[in-house]
């Protein structure tokens, strides 16, 4: 019998606790009458007449998780900031006040990523039942005169937790899922996947395609405590990296150094790896809590940022890891994802289980630039556009 995900991972127990807290608060008329950003704590109340879907039936071995008032599950705003929440929201261009929405009933977003080829094209990895059970969907969104449109949708038999675009084919994407597999999809086709790689023994939670020239490599991270290296043209992994002592939540390639990637884990560490060597290159005891996300600075090959369950963001200089170079505080629940700006060396964005997206400039005395509170459920995915310099 499959072990419940909350039994494997402390962060899932945090998520279940938050869901329970929100659910207990009910859906009083006073709460429903608040503006959207003030309804966050009452979000999973049952839909009344807002056009959303009612509570889904309980998944096998679990209880029903309601989608929230007036929501079908997935929404999207035009591409400036890209963010995914338990509503599978993809955020976007221009101010949040002008945001549109696209809803996919019954889905909760886990990851979002802009296409490196097509401005305004967004991939969203989503799951049913907050990813605790059920199926998954890869949704590719675009923007035209009518607003946000669904370009393609592909289903998988387990929740999809991350997505990455190919760096050599504008139609190709890779996702990873709760059954431990990676899937390759082609937007030019109506069905898929093209290939499935199944080697991880537990949930595959992170996947990233290398951005450096001269290599077409993919790295995945799993709850089985391993990271794996893949060549999409080869039917099996090239290498397995062991060393973490708990769940791996994030794996991401260096944009500067070929063959180098970072991983963040529930063992409270950030680790740096080189595909040319079998062992870990550097271990950083980054937080005194599970580390859920990491990212490389696009302008400094030695600088990374981590986000953790302790609600903090920390910057790390690989040349001196004794102390973080900055610490950013403000989130009130675990930080789910963090991204450096592609246009500014000191600006980054983070999203959290506190339903917010926050923009920071760690070079300033008051680093918090903006807090966006438009989400009404867990904000799990985040990306920044490579195409619009003034819209990051």
Domain locations in the chain as residue ranges = 107-340
Taking the C-alpha atoms of residue 260 and residue 367, their distance in angstroms, rounded to an integer, is 29
Q: How confident is the model at residue 78 (pLDDT cuts 50, 70, 90)?
A: very low
Domain 107-340: give its CATH architecture: 7 Propeller (2.130)
Residue 46 above 50 pLDDT?
no
Per-residue pLDDT at 337: 97
Residue 227 above 90 pLDDT?
yes
Question: pLDDT > 70: what percent of the chain?
Answer: 73
If you average pLDDT over every residue of the chain, what do you get?
Answer: 79
How many other CB atoms sit within 10 Å of the CB of residue 105?
A: 12
Taking the C-alpha atoms of residue 104 and residue 332, their distance in angstroms, rounded to an integer, is 28
Q: Can you list the alpha helix ranges (DSSP code H) found in the chain? A: 5-8, 10-24, 29-32
What is this structure's pTM? 0.78
Taking the C-alpha atoms of residue 184 and residue 142, their distance in angstroms, rounded to an integer, is 20
Residue with tokens 């062992």: 279
Residue with tokens 């929230």: 68
């Amino acid at each position: 019998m499959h072990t419940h995900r909350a039994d494997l991972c402390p962060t899932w127990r945090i998520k279940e606790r938050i869901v329970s807290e929100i659910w207990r608060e009910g859906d009083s008329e006073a709460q429903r009458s608040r503006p959207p950003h003030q309804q966050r704590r009452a979000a999973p109340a049952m839909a009344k007449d807002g056009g959303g879907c009612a509570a889904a039936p309980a998944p096998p071995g679990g209880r029903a998780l309601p989608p929230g008032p007036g929501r079908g599950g997935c929404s999207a705003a035009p591409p400036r900031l890209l963010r995914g929440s338990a509503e599978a929201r993809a955020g976007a261009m221009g101010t949040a006040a002008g945001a549109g929405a696209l809803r996919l009933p019954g889905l909760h977003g886990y990851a979002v990523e802009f296409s490196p080829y097509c401005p305004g094209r967004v991939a969203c990895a989503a799951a049913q039942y907050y990813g605790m059970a059920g199926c998954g969907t890869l949704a590719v969104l675009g923007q035209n005169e009518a607003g946000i449109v669904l370009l393609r949708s592909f289903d998988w038999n387990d929740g999809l937790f991350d997505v990455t675009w190919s760096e050599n084919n504008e139609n190709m994407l890779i996702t990873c899922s709760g059954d431990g597999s990676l899937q390759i999809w082609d937007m030019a086709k109506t069905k898929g996947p093209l290939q499935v790689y199944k080697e991880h023994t537990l949930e595959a939670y992170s996947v990233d395609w290398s951005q450096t020239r001269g290599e077409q490599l993919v790295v995945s991270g799993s709850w089985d405590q391993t990271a794996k290296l893949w060549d999409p043209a080869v039917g099996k992994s090239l290498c397995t990296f062991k060393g973490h002592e708990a769940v791996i939540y994030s794996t991401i390639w260096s944009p500067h150094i070929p063959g180098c990637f970072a991983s963040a884990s529930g063992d409270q560490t950030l680790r740096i790896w080189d595909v040319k060597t079998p062992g870990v290159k550097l271990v950083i005891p980054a937080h005194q809590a599970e580390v859920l996300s990491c990212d490389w600075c696009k302008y400094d090959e030695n600088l990374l940022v981590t986000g953790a369950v302790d609600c903090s963001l920390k910057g790390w200089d690989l040349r001196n890891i004794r102390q973080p170079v900055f610490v950013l505080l403000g989130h009130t629940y675990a930080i789910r994802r963090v991204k450096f700006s592609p246009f500014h060396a000191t600006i980054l964005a983070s999203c959290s289980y506190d339903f917010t997206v926050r923009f920071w400039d760690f070079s300033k005395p008051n680093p918090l630039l903006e807090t966006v509170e438009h989400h009404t459920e867990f904000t799990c995915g985040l990306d920044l556009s490579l195409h619009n310099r003034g819209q990051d």
